Structure 1
Amino acid sequence: MRTVLNLLILLLLAGCAAPKQQDPVKEINKEIAAGNFTRAAELVDSLVAGGQIGELQQRNLLFIRDSLHRVKLDFNKTKEEIVEWIENNRLFTPSDSLIDRWELSKALECRVIDGEKRYFRNAAPNLFRVDASARELSPVSPPSSDVPRDALLIGAFNHKISSDTKGKYLLPEKKMKARYTLTVNADAVPEGELLKVWLPFPRKDIDRQTNVELLATSQPDYILSDDKMAHTSLYMEQKAVAGEPTVFWIDFQFTSRGEWFDLSEIAPTPYDKSSALFRTYTAEQKPHIGFSPTIQALTDSITRNAETPVEILQAAYRYIASNYPWASALEYSTIANIPEYVIENRKGDCGQVALLLITMLRYKGVPARWQSGWMTHPGEVNLHDWAEVYFEGTGWVPVDISFGRGPEVPIQPGREFFMSGIDSYRLYINSGFSGEFYPPKKYPRSETVDFQRGEVESGPWNLYFDQWRYRMELTYNN
């Protein structure tokens, strides 16, 4: 499995001009490829301690070391634990040959770390989400996906309200209040050290997210970014106290309103290919949006009969929804190219398939961009990602490929509502991915693509997700 570690090693190789620096870096790469994480970490420590490398190279090396820790956290299950989960939750005992077959097909995700085979922390439930033959062996229903209960979908979409724009329909508004809390573990940093946090905050959108208001904060001093940033955040600082967790929270309210576009009413108007919008949102954005031979060949085969931008969207959306089931995902910071990962592993969570869809559309000359935040359905509150597609003469149309998967629901036009629509139970935070923060973050992010949980750092380095926790509490006013 390729990871972001490989890319960083290549950057280091390109940046190490002195021949004596190349061999140790190549050795690190070799050890990582062989799964020898402990040895690779020792080599990183040796290079950094030697003081013979530049600041940028040192930071890249430290992130490589940090990434080894991230991968080990994700792949923390033994074979015995996988078998035990299946026995307890799926009521049968898999044979060794079955385990081997599932590994070979990549339905059961694993890798060798320091000589031991380790499985992804959610490998066992994912197996029954993505492998039909595994499901047939169990009398128990497969684990849930990220799609909310049908009753919530029906309630959200039954009463569309016509708008002035042709083909566009507005859904009833949902008013929500939120308390978002981020708690850094006790003694995660020494007493008196300053903790810096960026908390997610709702964006202002004239159509879908309005009446955004900050109500209260845990710290009297804060910095609220504006909507020019890809990630809308609220920044605060607080000194750590020995033996006590450090708590940050914000209260805010907002109004969310879903919308749906009838694609049959959207005329196939040619794009203005000279516009900044077209150039920006049909471009590659590496490492996760790239027009590789794999992407080109698959997209061309899927869209061979599509002539208009709407038909291209329909073809790509239907293919992804039918062929890549939802599965709990590795941390994005450990994946070198997310769309390629989805294709290779034949599964993906909401953000992974959204990036695949965006990449396919951009390659075909259809402007597409990332959006994300939270799904806020009562009883189904969670992180969530989706996309928007631009049609000339219509504007930006929301597309939630992840909600398009799963069984049919008794609404019109069924799950394909999400091909050109979004419900009112959303908290919209990000208008792009892998963007900058305000104020700028000094150290590498815990989440290098998305921003929903927050970010934390102190004087020495970034604090990863295992050093803090988060909680979203919502109340609904209608």
Structure 2
Amino acid sequence: MKNWNETFRSLNVGLPDDVERLKAAGYYQEAIERIDAYLAEDWTVTQNSPRSQGAEPVGEELPQNPTPHGVEALRDAMLAQREIMRRIPAEYCYTEDEAVTRMQGLVRDFTREEFRLLVKEGRVDWRFVEGEKHYLDRFAETLLATHADLAARQIDPPAPGTSAREFRNRQHEQMERDGQASARITLKTSVGMSDEAFAAALAEAKAEGRNRVHVRAWLPIPAACLSQSEIELLDCTEPPARIADENAPQRTVFWEADLTENRRFGVEYRYRTTAVYTDPMDIRPDAQQPTFDTGEEAPHIVFTPYLRALAHQLTDGITDPAEKAKRIYDYVTLNVRYHYQPAYFVQECLPDQCARNRRGDCGIMALTFITLCRLVGIPAQWQSGLSVSLTGVGCHDWAMFYIAPKGWMYADCSFGASMARQGDEKMRRHYFGSLDTGRMVANRAFEAPFDPPMTGFRSDPYDNQSGECEVDGVGLYGDALDTRKELVNYEFL
């Protein structure tokens, strides 16, 4: 069975020029139709021969075509792009009128002129959809999170809660004093189909003569790593079919069931997390540094000409690997503006786009740091899972980098950029080398398969923070996929 997520490894191959032009203008349905035509083409019939001019060959047999079905890498690229273009309109769902109306419902005295100025300044993400500008579904959340003046004008501001900034400052002081901080965290998560998606899937199954749907579900769980220990699975909604090895690159618990009625799959787990304080600038690096985790990993960790030029500019003349890593961290945290993003599924070459456009979310900032580090010979890895605080649980990504003799250290560029916006230089520096205890690490690699693999298109083919669900071989995404996270207990040790 074909694993559709593997097609993304060919994403950078590109598209035929007519499809590329249609995609750029936002004519996604027409672009999909052209892709379908390309995929259906028999190159043996259309190869250079009398037949290509409407005449039958006379005499010798036609030579055998070495690529009768086309170039496989291009076919995979088109398969991935076809699914990307199916999903883009749901990500960019607001017209200008709708976007302005949404902001006017959130912010006092908001005007169309104000919105257009924000678009002109690059503060609002948009794409063409069927030739018309459409705006990202979470554009308003970005504006309220990153513009203090807009947040101050909110019609219904959120209730004040425990200050995350105060908590992180206190933890920094403890880590600097004691060398580390620890906590024991208990979380409960679940994944399932929306009732509407289940009803649609069951109706389709019955039309095919079946009275149930086959569901496969994956949830991320804590992996064994430097910062996590004492991992316990406390409870499951039902016995899982498989629990991935604790060292799996994307660790999951997996269920498989035939359902006549909709139900959720869930797990409750507990783990100990330890955050060690490290200042990379205090390290005297070895003369010989390792070369593992310094290569490209398409389609995103790729050494484009722009990234090569940037890496050279940032580190030219610098020999100390810690100083190189700091220069890269400074570039990302001081220049890249935080923006809520469309699903990574619909995006291409994330680090290159981030470095050019100077905007991204936690994962895009992390990938940019990783790629630039690898470009200058510093081993760097992905790490992700959940960010946990006393007030809630959310998805989060960050990076690791390696300098001998110290070993692996952390870089949380998103938190660092947040500290920069707040003018808190002490905490911006904290997240170069160190983290905090509010983490759940499930993933140590980007674009890693599950155990067992999911073969339908994932909601996110690269990362797994909330869970995935596949129904009769088709992966769910958007409103069809219902994921939940709940903090049960956060105990400081």
TM-score by length of 2: 0.80
Matching residue of 2:27: 36
**Which whole-Å CA distance do the structure 2 matches of 1:410 and 1:109 have between them?**
25
In our comparison, the structure showing a higher alpha carbon Rg is 2
Matching residue of 1:114: 130
Q: Which of these residues, 436, 439, 448, is aligned with residue 435 of structure 1? A: 448
Judge conservation of contact 2:10–2:76 (CA < 8 Å) in 1. Answer: no
Matched, 1:209 2:228: yes
Judge conservation of contact 1:219–1:237 (CA < 8 Å) in 2. Answer: no
Matched, 1:299 2:311: yes
The 10-residue stretch of structure 1 (362-371 or 106-115) with the greater mean CA deviation from structure 2: 106-115
Return the offset for 1:260: 1.4
**Which whole-Å CA distance do the structure 2 matches of 1:290 and 1:354 have between them?**
14
* 1:360-408 residue CA offsets vs partner (Å, 9 max, x unmatched): 1111111111100100111142100011110111110121111112347
Note closer, same or farther for the CA distance 1:141–1:364 as it changes in structure 2 (3 Å cut): farther
1:436-455 equivalences under 5 Å are: 436-455=449-468
Judge conservation of contact 1:5–1:67 (CA < 8 Å) in 2. Answer: no
Matched, 1:170 2:170: no
**Which whole-Å CA distance do the structure 2 matches of 1:319 and 1:55 have between them?**
39
**Which whole-Å CA distance do the structure 2 matches of 1:124 and 1:477 have between them?**
31
Q: Which of these residues, 130, 149, 152, is aligned with residue 167 of structure 2? A: 152
Judge conservation of contact 1:5–1:64 (CA < 8 Å) in 2. Answer: no
Note closer, same or farther for the CA distance 1:43–1:246 as it changes in structure 2 (3 Å cut): farther
* 1:229-278 residue CA offsets vs partner (Å, 9 max, x unmatched): 3100111012232xx433111121111111111234311212344xxxx2
Return the offset for 1:417: 0.5
Matching residue of 2:206: none
Unaligned regions of 5+ residues in structure 1, if any?
Answer: 14-24, 164-168
Judge conservation of contact 1:86–1:92 (CA < 8 Å) in 2. Answer: no
Matching residue of 2:215: 195
Return the offset for 1:445: 2.0
Matching residue of 1:219: 238
Matching residue of 2:375: 363
Matching residue of 1:19: none
**Which whole-Å CA distance do the structure 1 matches of 2:34 and 2:473 have between them?**
20
Matching residue of 1:349: 361
TM-score by length of 1: 0.83
**Which whole-Å CA distance do the structure 1 matches of 2:7 and 2:26 have between them?**
12
Judge conservation of contact 2:95–2:133 (CA < 8 Å) in 1. Answer: yes
Q: Aligned with 1:445: secondary structure?
A: coil
Judge conservation of contact 1:7–1:336 (CA < 8 Å) in 2. Answer: no
Identity of aligned residues (%): 25
Matched, 1:181 2:190: yes
**Which whole-Å CA distance do the structure 1 matches of 2:76 and 2:311 have between them?**
37
Q: Aligned with 1:366: secondary structure?
A: coil
Return the offset for 1:43: 4.5
Matched, 1:284 2:296: yes
**Which whole-Å CA distance do the structure 1 matches of 2:450 and 2:77 have between them?**
19
Amino acid in structure 1 at the alignment position of 2:447 = S
Return the offset for 1:38: 2.3
The root-mean-square deviation of aligned C-alpha atoms, in Å, is 3.3
Return the offset for 1:437: 1.3
**Which whole-Å CA distance do the structure 2 matches of 1:7 and 1:170 have between them?**
39
**Which whole-Å CA distance do the structure 2 matches of 1:393 and 1:325 have between them?**
33
Amino acid in structure 2 at the alignment position of 1:323 = N
Matching residue of 1:231: 250
Return the offset for 1:30: 4.1
Matched, 1:334 2:353: no
